[in-house]
A and B are shown apart, each in its own frame.
Chain A
């Protein structure tokens, strides 16, 4: 895929070229939105909005990393969605415990048709991580999603999150520390590979 040529065609209004770029990046865009927002349906909407917004503003792309530029529109769409949620808060579906506190683990969302073993193998890690991501402030979450989940380098994250490089370093370090603390609470849920790594490195 000649990304530069496709971007240039899209800048001249060629929607087919842009759709080719969408097909290439849609998984990454959707995953970013999903990890920032924590809801699949809302993440789909945000991803779609991001692509529409990206096409409309593609003339503002002046070169560099198209992926970083595209993910910036996604983070903007996610921030918009989070602001919208703040303005119109909804009652969470998450059930309360007998004490009235919300359950820490999102395991109740699991598919009841699966056996407990399958469930834990397939979903628990993801649920635990997503839960810990959700506890982070949005700015920290965005940085850690872009750097550690999407595997972007610092300069790309700086473009996508629209913050200076120094801020990226600081936020990433804080976010990792907080995540580590949060994940300690799910130690028994973590896969053996993680525990082994921990044991190996300790």
Chain B
């Protein structure tokens, strides 16, 4: 057996991969060296029999379908716009719901609200001087039984204006409670149950608008997708 370098040269010579000068040299070596000639014949025989190997016909067609390669129909450019607007509207709508749920804003309406804060339960910022006129308005709105209590009220309120803030709080309590205990049935009920109005941070009209935008965009997306698929078919 020749060395492997010779075998490689013989194989290349067989395939015509040697330069003309190398081929000429190899031909003369094969002619003069029986061992090299035998190796050459072996390689040529092996190649010859490989080339006689029958070619099989493909047992089936290997053509591809769009599903096999995951192809999707080409969509118009407007599709991406509607996709964006759908996503954007959905996110905003979700956010508005979250904001409205998590941060409810309570507003207390009417003079009774002020009475609550200034009614001796430690409503520091509300000065008795401010509470007193409002209380007077409330009291003046009452009916005849209130009129009967007027002297008592006057007596109590006057020193309130002159006294210090602490003493005013102490004095106010009976002022409000006095008529309640006597005759102010309706008024006292309103005092005990302040009117609370819950306001949404984001108006519901906005939410409806966002919902409409989202739905319209979604419908447009579906329509474009369907149209593209039909065109593709």
Contacts and interface: CB of A to CB of B under 8 A. Distances in A.
A26 B41 contact: no
B71 interface: yes
A170 interface: yes
A107 interface: no
B66 interface: yes
Interface string B59-93: 11111111011010000000000000000000000
B196 to A, nearest CB: 63
A161 B32 CA distance: 36
B11 A52 contact: no
A27 B11 contact: no
Contacts of B51: 148-149, 151
A149 B50 contact: yes
Contacts of A180: 42-43, 45-46
B11 A173 contact: yes
Interface in B28-68: 38, 41-66, 68
B69 A30 contact: no
Interface string A39-57: 0100010011001100110
A55 B61 CA distance: 15
A125 B58 contact: no
Given A198-B45, A201-B41, A129 B62 contact: no
Contacts of B42: 176-177, 180
A154 interface: yes
Contacts of B8: 169-170, 173
Contacts of A48: 62
B201 to A, nearest CB: 48
Given A149-B51, A151-B51, A15 B71 contact: yes
Interface in A1-47: 13, 15, 18-19, 22-23, 26-27, 29-31, 34-35, 40, 44, 47
In this complex, the interface size class of chain A, counting residues with CB under 8 Å from chain B, is: 35 or more
Contact of B56 (A15, A27, A147): A27
A129 B47 contact: no
Contacts of B58: 26-27, 29-30, 47
B15 interface: yes
B10 interface: yes
Interface residues of B, number: 38
A148 B50 contact: yes
A interface SS class: helix
B18 to A, nearest CB: 10
B17 interface: yes
A29 B57 CA distance: 10
Given A193-B52, A201-B44, A23 B63 contact: yes
A162 B17 CA distance: 19
A39 B10 CA distance: 32
Interface in A184-200: 190-191, 193-194, 197-198
B4 interface: yes
A177 B56 CA distance: 25
Given A31-B56, A170-B8, A173-B10, A22 B63 contact: yes
Given A18-B64, A44-B59, A47-B58, A169 B45 contact: no
Contacts of B54: 126
A61 to B, nearest CB: 16
Given A31-B56, A52-B64, A179 B46 contact: yes
A183 interface: yes
Contacts of B17: 154, 169
Contact of B4 (A13, A52, A125, A173): A173
A194 B64 contact: no
Interface of A: 13, 15, 18-19, 22-23, 26-27, 29-31, 34-35, 40, 44, 47-48, 51-52, 55-56, 125-126, 129, 144, 147-149, 151, 153-154, 169-170, 172-174, 176-177, 179-180, 183, 190-191, 193-194, 197-198, 201-202
